[in-house]
Amino acid sequence: MQVSVIGCGRWGSLIAWYLDRVGHSVALYGRAESPHFQALLQTRKNEVLELSDHIQLTSDLPQACRAEVLLISVPSQKLRSLAKELAAMDLHGKDLVLCMKGLEVGSGKRLSEIVEEELPADNRIAVWLGPGHVQEFLAGVPNCMVIDSRHGSLKKKLIEAFSGNLIRFYYGEDLLGNEIGAATKNVIGIAAGVLDGLHLSTLKGALMSRGTHEIAGLIGAMGGNPFSAYGLCHLGDYEATVFSPYSHNRAFGECVALGRSYTSLAEGYATAAAVMELAKRYGVELPICRAVYNILYENANPAQQIEVLFNRSLKREWNSKKGF
């Protein structure tokens, strides 16, 4: 299969590396002015991996879009502008796979919604979600991930084509729930980092339990399946986000708690603002996400916000008859 990966950051480069490894003809697109792309052109390396000579590097977006399948891995807040660029090209009938996690600030829209709004209706959209870090895949450590789409035939096509001994793909059955779960796990990751920075890592068990419960309620209120929060795209991604030294969101939260700067992209920062818009729109109480938002956007004291969460009124756990 001829595929193009649009976005040459660490994850986009890893996807290109992986798809070449499982036998596809791969092009990796980056903007000519991008330092990441220039480094790849000069050395075929970034800070974590080296690309084989089989992978074509291009800064010509129309050329990249000639591939059968386009995989997109760009910062979530830049997706709409990219989608507008793609809409100006003849992409009718093209299959696109979104390989990132986030929500649009200002609208709270899921990433698949953004692309569906901007591109022709005959484009089929899928998402590639779930746990995994570049460093671990490069070391040969396998993981399980999810491909979801409103189009069953597209899911089947991608899973059969992309599966290998490093990644086992599962069929997603709830596009809304999986996208919301994947995006919000980064907010939970920031909360986990705050706990680390405050030397309160023992509270991560409570964070995982209550965080999943919280996001399940949001997914249900939006019309998705609440149990999607307990799948690979949210709870299944906690180990890679809440505990991992490779998680940008966890590291960012730790730096916030310690008053240190952090320069790498942490998608949970923007998602924390977007998810508050959804909480208001759907009338859902999201205390953990609210605490993260208060810390990041309202200059709230991290220790005080954790104390507020810890001292919240006692509530019942899962009720099998009443649900959440």
The amino acid sitting at 279 is A
Residue finishing a domain among 171, 195, 214: 171
Euclidean distance between CA atoms 209 and 66, whole angstroms: 45
288 inside domain: yes
Note whether 149 and 209 are same-domain residues. Answer: no
99 inside domain: yes
Per-residue pLDDT of the chain (324 residues; tens, 9 = 90+): 999 999 999 999 999 999 999 999 999 999 999 999 999 999 999 999 999 999 999 999 999 999 999 999 999 999 999 999 999 998 989 999 999 999 999 999 999 999 999 999 999 999 999 999 999 999 999 999 999 999 999 999 999 999 999 999 999 999 999 999 999 999 999 999 999 999 999 999 999 999 999 999 999 999 999 999 999 999 999 999 999 999 999 999 999 999 999 998 899 999 999 999 999 999 999 999 999 999 999 999 999 999 999 887 655 544 433 444
133 inside domain: yes
Residue finishing a domain among 124, 143, 171: 171
Note whether 162 and 36 are same-domain residues. Answer: yes
323 inside domain: no
Note whether 111 and 204 are same-domain residues. Answer: no
Euclidean distance between CA atoms 251 and 256, whole angstroms: 9
- Give 222: exposed, middle or buried? Use CB within 10 Å, 0-12, 13-18, 19+: middle
Quick one: CA dihedral 215, 216, 218, 224, positive or negative?
Answer: positive
The CA-to-CA distance between both ends of the chain, in Å, stands at 44
Residue with tokens 């505990």: 243
CATH number, domain of 264, equals: 1.10.1040.10
Residue finishing a domain among 119, 149, 171: 171
C-alpha dihedral over 278, 282, 285, 290, to 10 degrees?
20
Note whether 117 and 265 are same-domain residues. Answer: no
Note whether 166 and 246 are same-domain residues. Answer: no
CATH number, domain of 96, equals: 3.40.50.720
145 inside domain: yes
Note whether 130 and 259 are same-domain residues. Answer: no
Determine phi and psi for 198, rounding to 5 degrees: -95, 5
Residue ranges making up the domain that contains 298: 184-310
Structural domains counted in the chain: 2
315 inside domain: no
Note whether 200 and 140 are same-domain residues. Answer: no
Query: Could you confirm whether 78 is annotated as catalytic?
Result: no
Note whether 165 and 32 are same-domain residues. Answer: yes
153 inside domain: yes
Name the catalytic one among 109, 155, 185, 204. Answer: 185
